[in-house]
Amino acid sequence: MAGDRPGPRARRGSGGARPGDLGATRLPRRRREEDPMRAFDALPAPLRRWLAEAARPWSSASCRRIWRRAMARGESVEAALARLTRAERRALMRDAMAPGAPPEIRSPVASTLRARA
């Protein structure tokens, strides 16, 4: 009977997000006002490629902000991508050093930083 089963939200856990959807991160999650797929599709191709291989979940808005700032300063595409990689490295380090961060976060952070260096 339908009344015996928990509703969809109850099965997924608090907040409606399934565990693991965003990877192991202790950084705060925020609700977005825009359609994430439409926002992603509107990004420049090099930025979309960078995002597809990013080590952490990024919002299109935060990547677009970093990209536009770099472009406004007259930086090349390569310099803008390097700026994004540095921002990602800082976020990974903050995540790994957060109080109570589990050891499984620290190990992937170290390997990701070595791979992107």
Q: Does position 80 have pLDDT exceeding 50, yes or no?
A: yes
pLDDT of residue 96: 73
In sequence order, which residues have a C-beta less than 8 Å from that of residue 95 and are 6 or more positions away? 25, 26, 27, 56, 101, 105, 109
> Chain-wide mean pLDDT for the chain?
74
In sequence order, which residues have a C-beta less than 8 Å from that of residue 107 and are 6 or more positions away? none
Taking a C-beta distance cutoff of 8 angstroms, is the pair 54, 87 a contact?
Answer: no
Q: Distance between CA atoms of 112 and 92, rounded to whole angstroms? A: 9
Q: Does position 10 have pLDDT exceeding 80, yes or no?
A: no
Measure the N-to-C terminal CA separation of the chain; round to a whole number of Å: 56
This prediction has a pTM of: 0.58
Q: Does position 106 have pLDDT exceeding 60, yes or no?
A: no
pLDDT-derived band of residue 108, with 50, 70 and 90 as boundaries? low
